[in-house]
């Protein structure tokens, strides 16, 4: 599974499932959105998670399961077990890692066994990670994964499109792998440890403009087993989760139940189709709070907006609206989605321009 296909599924309601396997991480990056470290141990209860993934059916499953953290490869055996269970139902499995294991450029056997159970592997690279694991080591480890036949990508997190680190890292990946390894470039958000030193982005579009929310398409299993409708870290960590964004808990609910709640919710249909600020503009008796995500969370206290969404999106029309919005976003392509949600000038890098191009023979970085 290539990165472009994975990103292309992102606007599809229940096209994927995000699973936060653990909040633990051996790194201490200043920009971490989850506030992960080795001093925290929060993670979904393993048996419950296995039962939840085991509830997938061949006709009722997410197309892709994305394993995240913290650092999911602190749990290589559970990763391999979950991947096998999901793939048995027909789902494909991807994972993103901070590459803590890659010092020296090699991949330990336990880690490689977990990686080869996947359909896609993504490595996080940024200035903070490089203080702990050199870029050359990460690139050598990625070559080893490619040699095992697993598609890989690089997830770059930067301060903005003019960040000097970005141009240097992109050039390095291109020199080592040609166009074989696609890259997803995101900007640091004011979440987790980054909340203290990163400025919040300006408010989103005003209420007169539709701005579909792709973040409300894939359910998320949070660190405590709660299933949220949105992958924004603010939502994943907030307790209680706003009622319109809570889909259940893996202790009580299976995948078919979670999927039915997500697809059948009128407010989630409208969020995915037009976005929260348009909802406020259409139904609210007072202006929306500042910020795109803030206006979504505020819906819990706006019964008139929830009632309006229920009237217009509670039946077949709402179902059709949801599907049309997802189809339009998917037809626009993965780069269009990254231009909206990531670092726009580098959105094209999400699509490999040489899927069948041989990897250059030289190993490591040319810096």
Which among 204, 242, 209, 208 has a CA at the least distance from the CA of 226?
242
* Distance, CA of 120 to CA of 68 (rounded, Å): 13
Q: Residue 227: beta bridge partners?
A: 221, 248
Q: Is the N-terminal amide bond of 70 cis, ω within 30° of 0?
A: yes
- Please give the pLDDT value at position 26: 82
Q: Which domains does the chain have, with CATH numbers?
A: 3-201+333-350 (3.20.20.70), 214-330 (no CATH)
- 225 — phi, psi (to 5°)? 90, -10
**pLDDT recorded at residue 39:** 66
Cα distance between residue 291 and residue 270, in whole Å: 17
The token duo for 351 is 């699509």
pLDDT at 37: 58
Closest by CA position to 305, among listed 328, 288, 317, 292: 288
DSSP bridge pairs for 246: 228
Whole-prediction pTM: 0.89
Look-up: residue for tokens 């989850």? 34
Cβ atoms of residues 89 and 58 within 8 Å? yes
Contacts of 223 (CB under 8 A, 6+ apart): 20, 22, 23, 42, 43, 44, 70, 236
Q: Cα(246)–Cα(261) distance, rounded to whole angstroms?
A: 9
What pLDDT does residue 79 have?
A: 97
Query: Distance between CA 115 and CA 63 in Å, rounded?
Result: 19
- Name the phi and psi angles at 236, rounded to 5: -60, -40
Half-sphere exposure of 119 (CA within 13 A, CB side): 21
Q: What pLDDT is attached to residue 363?
A: 42
Mean pLDDT by 10 residues, the chain (367 residues): 96 97 79 61 91 97 96 96 98 97 94 98 92 94 97 94 93 94 84 43 49 94 96 89 96 98 97 93 85 91 93 93 95 95 94 53 40
CA distance 313 to 265: 8
Q: Nearest-CA neighbor of 17 among 6, 26, 1, 31?
A: 6
Instruction: Extract long-range pairs of 289-293: CB within 8 Å, 24+ residues apart.
Output: 290/203, 291/200, 291/203, 291/204, 292/203, 292/204, 292/205, 292/211, 292/213, 293/232, 293/234, 293/235
């Amino acid at each position: 599974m290539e990165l472009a296909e994975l990103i292309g599924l992102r606007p599809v309601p229940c096209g994927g499932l995000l699973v936060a396997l653990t909040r633990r991480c051996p790194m201490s990056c200043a920009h971490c959105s989850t506030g992960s470290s080795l001093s925290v141990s929060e993670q979904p209860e393993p048996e419950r998670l296995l039962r939840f993934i085991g509830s997938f059916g061949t006709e009722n499953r997410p197309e892709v399961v994305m394993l995240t953290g913290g650092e999911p490869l602190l749990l290589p055996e559970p990763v391999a077990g979950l991947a096998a269970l999901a793939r048995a139902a027909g789902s494909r499995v991807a994972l993103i890692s901070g590459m803590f294991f890659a010092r020296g450029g090699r991949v330990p056997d336990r880690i490689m066994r977990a990686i080869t159970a996947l359909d896609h592997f993504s490595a996080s690279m940024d200035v903070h990670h490089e203080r702990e694991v050199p870029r050359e080591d990460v690139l050598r480890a990625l070559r080893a994964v490619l040699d095992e036949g697993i598609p890989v990508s690089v997830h770059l997190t930067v301060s903005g499109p003019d960040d000097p680190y970005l141009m240097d890292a992109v050039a390095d990946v291109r020199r080592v792998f040609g166009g074989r390894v696609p890259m997803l470039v995101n900007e640091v958000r004011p979440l987790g440890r980054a909340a203290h030193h990163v400025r919040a982005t300006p408010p989103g579009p005003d209420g007169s403009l539709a701005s579909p929310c792709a973040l409300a398409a894939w359910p998320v299993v949070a660190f405590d087993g709660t299933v949220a409708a949105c992958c924004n870290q603010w939502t994943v960590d907030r307790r209680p989760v706003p009622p319109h964004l809570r889909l259940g808990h893996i202790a009580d609910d299976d995948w078919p139940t979670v999927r039915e709640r997500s697809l059948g919710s009128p407010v989630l249909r409208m969020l995915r189709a037009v976005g929260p600020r348009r909802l406020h503009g259409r139904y609210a008796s007072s202006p929306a709070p500042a910020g795109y995500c803030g206006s979504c969370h505020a819906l819990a206290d706006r019964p008139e907006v929830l009632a309006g969404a229920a009237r217009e999106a509670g039946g077949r029309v709402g179902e059709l609206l949801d599907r049309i919005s997802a189809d339009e976003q998917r037809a626009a392509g993965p780069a269009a989605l990254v231009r909206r949600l990531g670092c726009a000038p580098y959105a094209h890098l999400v699509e490999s321009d040489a899927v069948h191009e041989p990897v250059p023979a030289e190993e490591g970085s040319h810096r």
